[in-house]
A = this chain, B = another copy of it.
Amino acid sequence: MEKLEKKIPRNLNECFNIDDIEKLAITKLSKHSLAYYYGGSGDEITLRRNRNIFNKIKLYPKVLVNVSETDTSIIIQNRKLAMPIFFAPAAMHRLACPSGEKDSAKAAFEMNTLYCLSTHSSCTPSEVAAANKNGLRWYQLYLNKNRDISKKVILKLEELGYSAIVLTVDAPVAGYRERDHRARIGEEELSDSASIIANFGFFKNIQDSSFEWEIIDWLKSITKLEIYIKGIHRVDDALIAREKGVKGIFVGNHGGRQLDTVPSALEMLIPIAKACKDFKDFDIFLDGGIRRGVDVFKALAFGAKAVFIGRPLLWGLACGGEQGVKRVFEILMSEFITCMKLCGVNKLEEINESYIFKEKLPKF
């Protein structure tokens, strides 16, 4: 049945979906960079679960609806963006291509979508701001043991036009990602990319593992930027976050990179979105596992306002820098529009759980 097998693509033109781009990226990245981006913690059960859960959820399309006018735009912080598909923070884009975050931020701007920069970026916030022009951009913050350093960073971000702080809370210590260690087996000296990753590990040591919910009060006391929390897993924590007055939460598990065997991002989203469905002005984003336009639709159906994409954009970056990132956004956007039309939906607001198949079937 060789006639039916997929080949590994040789270039972006031979990539028709995100999996193709991943396969191409694997051929492009150095051993260390690949291990760093690709890997999850432990046995990567959560990493796979993030992805597989989407395939189990069944859409339930309505027919004979006029779908000639489909609109994927979304308003965030009074800005109209092209789609509910945003750039998740991820460390060290330079492992993927020489211009790193400058390329990815430029692509996000050109696609008119939100860009979220990582504390562990390999370009400076200023460089990124310049590349992203007047795009909407947020900053993901790992809190420093020295609060003054974090404060200075935040004030600088305000100056540079970043419009929100995304505080990561699921990494008081680093998850153990075995691929990083495996990639170094048998090496005497660190290669360039290995050395970047190793230094990054060192950098983590200054991260704080002691802060609690009061940190939100402190953040609000030093900045007017909107505050999001990234890494909420539980319904009760989501309710506390709301209570504490943050603008919203990222529901996710750090891309399966922190604690293995936690639920998939979508499994966590479902009860959280249900518990929060009457809150106005509290945004719930899904962060993890999206590889298809139908996945975006499902996340929104279960109550996410929008989704953040991580690895797929890094694969795009590795395959073709700015152009590769744009290609990933284009594929997801195009698939998402097709999904909306085939479900009989024209606007994001119309997407809800009635488009998920839940009819009772006999037990087979």
Contact = CB atoms under 8 A, between A and B. Distances in A.
Interface of A: 1, 3-4, 6-7, 14, 16-17, 19, 23, 26, 31, 34, 38, 42-43, 45, 53-68, 169-170, 172-173, 175-176, 178, 181-182, 185, 209-213, 215, 229, 231-237, 240, 258-263, 267-268, 270-271, 292, 294, 334-335, 338-339, 341-343, 356-364
A309 B17 CA distance: 29
B338 A64 contact: no
Contacts of A59: 259, 261-262
Given A172-B341, A341-B172, A232 B63 contact: yes
Nearest to A2: B26
A6 B182 contact: yes
B362 A68 contact: no
Contacts of A334: 176
The 7 closest A-B pairs by CB, nearest first: A271-B359, A56-B364, A259-B342, A63-B169, A68-B210, A16-B178, A66-B210
Contact of A233 (B26, B63, B232): B63
Given A38-B4, A45-B55, A62 B178 contact: no
Contacts of A356: 362
Q: Please indicate which of the listed interface residues A55, A63, A234 has the most CB atoms of chain B within 10 Å of its own CB.
A: A63
A195 B96 CA distance: 38
Contacts of A342: 170, 172-173, 175, 258-259
Query: SS class of chain A's interface: helix, strand, loop or mixed?
Result: loop
B58 A364 contact: yes
14 contacts: A3-B31, A6-B182, A14-B182, A16-B176, A59-B259, A60-B233, A60-B262, A61-B233, A64-B211, A68-B209, A172-B341, A209-B341, A267-B361, A268-B359
Nearest to A294: B261
A94 to B, nearest CB: 20
Contact of A64 (B23, B43, B53, B213): B213
A100 B54 CA distance: 39
A54 B43 CA distance: 12
Nearest to A253: B61
Nearest to A363: B358
A180 to B, nearest CB: 9
Contacts of A173: 67, 338, 341-342
Contacts of A3: 26, 31, 34
Contacts of A210: 66-68
A243 to B, nearest CB: 12
Nearest to A236: B62
A353 to B, nearest CB: 8
Contacts of A62: 233-234, 236-237
Given A43-B292, A212-B65, A263 B55 contact: no
